[in-house]
Amino acid sequence: MKPGTIYSWVEGLLEDRKVSFPEGWVDPERPRRIEAAAARTGLERLRPIKETLPEDFTYDEIRIVVACLRGLRATV
């Protein structure tokens, strides 16, 4: 199975709040920076978030954090 497929499944589970944030999948310092970028650009698209972060941030990391944020937003 490809990593992108696994990230997609986890992304869906996070958005539906069926699982909690997968510790160890994203460096502990990165979620705060991703959340700050998402607060400025919105949660609708990943590319604007990626463009505001340093190059070493991956789309997979961003997807995981944004999925958690979307899941939280859906419960409010």
Could you state, in order of their start, the residue ranges of all structural domains in the chain?
Answer: 3-75
- Confidence check: pLDDT of 61 > 70: yes
pTM recorded for the entire structure: 0.82
Q: Which two tokens stand for residue 44?
A: 């609708």
> Is 27:12 a contact under the CB 8 Å cutoff?
no
pLDDT at 21 over 80: no
Q: State the pLDDT confidence band at 17, using cuts at 50, 70 and 90.
A: confident
The answer to whether the Cα torsion of 74, 28, 20, 52 is positive or negative is positive
Q: Which helix (H) or strand (E) holds 11?
A: helix 3-15
